[in-house]
Amino acid sequence: MREEIRQLIQLQELDSTLRALHATRQKLAKDLADVNKAAEEEAKRHEDCGNEAKAFRRAIDRRELDLKDIEARIQKYDGQLNQAKTNKEYAALQHEILGLKADKSRIEDEILKMYEQMETQSAEVKEAAGRVAAAQAAAEERRKSVETAANDAQARIERIKKERAELAAKIPRNFLDPYERLLQRADGRAMAPCRNYVCQGCRMALTTNTVNLLLIGDKLTFCHSCGRILFMPEGEDLTSIAGAGRKDNW
């Protein structure tokens, strides 16, 4: 195998590692975003729950003011009973007082139920606060873990980039340039081994002429189907292959 091909194979291994590291960083970033989003959603639910409880407290305050108003009116009409000049006036005041007392009883029952509901809401607010604290703690713990992993991945990326640059500088341009072009359009794998007369990049059978050019090895040989740069793996013995088209795993 030509030294330039060996170098391109090494370059592809480095590029594969770089892709994996970049994918890892993206996944870590997504995981962190998901955790932060969950914490924000818990905080929003807690805020909504608190706002609902405050609104309910204001509603209770309004009903208690209504109750005080009714009690004041009852007291006023009670004072007017002794000053009634006619039976008709006295009966009218009693009727008004009875109606107000009925309203007072109804509002008192309503306020009692509202207080019971407010206790339930208070418990829900406390539970929501607990969930917020737990979500924020989980987010902070995950954030530290992600930052550590991301920093490690970035350090490896920088190290491999340097190693790649040093290797690429050794490869002649007539070998490196086709590789770089293919790297952008071949799913990140510009090279593919030939096994059993089959391109392991696209799994298409290769022509005898293509394999012969590959065996001669004086220049780059490309797969006629996927366009990848072909190479013969170490130890591959084409003379022992009975026919073309076998699809061994790579």
CATH code for the domain defined by 3-168: 1.10.287.1490
Q: Which helix (DSSP H) or strand (DSSP E) does residue 199 occupy?
A: strand 198-199
In whole angstroms, what separates CA 77 from the centre of its chain?
A: 66
Helix/strand/coil for 210: helix
pLDDT of residue 238: 56
User: From CA 88, how far away is CA 80, in angstroms rounded?
Assistant: 13
Q: Which helix (DSSP H) or strand (DSSP E) does residue 230 occupy?
A: strand 229-231
pLDDT of residue 85: 87
The model's pTM: 0.64
DSSP strands (E only) in 36-129: none
Nearest to 4 by CA among 176, 200, 233: 176
Residue at 163: amino acid letter:
E
Task: Tell me which DSSP letter residue 71 carries.
Answer: H
Residue at 217: amino acid letter:
G
Structure-token pair, residue 118: 């407010």
Structure-token pair, residue 174: 């007539």
Q: Are the C-beta atoms of residues 138 and 43 closer than 8 Å to each other?
A: no
Q: Where are the domains of the chain?
A: 3-168, 173-240
Q: Are the C-beta atoms of residues 39 and 133 closer than 8 Å to each other?
A: no
Which residues of the chain fall short of a pLDDT of 70? 186, 235-250
Count of all residues that appear for the chain in the document: 250
Nearest to 196 by CA among 234, 247, 250, 249: 247
Sign of CA dihedral 212, 215, 221, 223: positive
pLDDT of residue 154: 92
User: From CA 15, how far away is CA 11, in angstroms rounded?
Assistant: 6
